[in-house]
Amino acid sequence: MSDPVLRLTGISKTYNKGRENEVTVLREAELSLQAGEIVALVAPSGAGKSTLLHMAGLLDTPDAGRVEIGGVDMTGLGDRRRTVARRREVGFVYQFHHLLPEFSALENVVLPQLANGVARRAAEARAQELLDQVGVGERAGHRPSAMSGGEQQRVAFCRALANGPRILLADEPTGNLDPATSDRVFERLVTLVRETGLSALIATHNLELAARMDRVLRLDNGTVVAG
Ligand SMILES: Nc1ncnc2c1ncn2[C@@H]1O[C@H](COP(=O)(O)OP(=O)(O)OP(=O)(O)O)[C@@H](O)[C@H]1O
């Protein structure tokens, strides 16, 4: 098997260390994501899914352990280099779309590319292509408030993929949608991930959605186990 796209080794995290409200969330957690794989991360609320995704996505640093993306150790990077690596390698999708309300759908997908040094015309062309791919191309000029919840979330997927990351990390990406919409939007996400050939780690409470992914992992008392 080739090198994993994402490898977490011995990841531990304790919040509020040494204080009364100290809580150990991750205990030497291990996780590998192969190229092209879509993996579900299932756990009850508070078990540490978001914490694990933040470590994997270089938004937070573990107390101990190693985060490798594309075979490169990201653990010791300083803030600036970590931010650059995150922008390049990782796309995030959250339960709520977090689109910028004063910008159109297209602009929301263009802006992260500009921040990454892409020229405006190329960024616009890529944004339109992504929006077309998930079926919201005709809504490109609309602001998020003029779109349905499912459409907003599809735009958020495009924004996450705008800079061509290696990994998509999603935290309850359809958790805010009604079941029928959630199902359709989830299918769009899976298709987009497959077509783009990237790898995805998707945290969800929804066992039906989890069963449709390549593999299911569970967080159990701070460690990752097969689901
Ligand atoms: N910044 C923080 N400071 C202190 N405690 C935190 C912090 N972030 C998370 N926690 C605690 O760590 C535990 C795990 O939180 P986390 O958000 O990772 O869980 P989760 O599995 O994603 O939950 P949910 O499904 O409800 O989003 C919880 O007990 C939470 O209260």
pLDDT, tens only, 26-55: 999 999 999 999 999 998 888 999 999 999
Q: Which amino acid is at 43?
A: A
In a domain, 192, yes or no: yes
Digit-coded pLDDT (tens) for 104-142: 999 999 999 999 899 999 999 999 999 999 899 999 999
pTM of model > 0.90: yes
Question: Is residue 43 a contact partner of residue 52, using CB atoms and an 8 Å limit?
Answer: no
Q: Which helix (H) or strand (E) holds 145?
A: none
Residue 154: which domain range?
A: 35-61+86-226
The number of the ligand 1 atom at minimal distance from the alpha carbon of 43 is 21
- In-domain check, residue 39: yes
Residue-level pLDDT at 167: 95
Is 157 a domain residue?
yes
81 within a domain of the structure (yes/no): no
Is 145 part of any domain? yes
Q: State the CATH number of the domain containing residue 166.
A: 3.40.50.300
Share of the chain above pLDDT 90, in %: 70
Amino acid at 218: R
Query: Into how many domains does the chain fold?
Result: 1
Position 215 in a domain = yes
Identify the DSSP state of 43: -
Is 159 domain-assigned?
yes
**Among 11, 13, 49, 169, residue to substitute to test ligand 1 (most atoms within 8 Å of Cβ):** 49
The answer to whether residue 16 sits within a structural domain is no
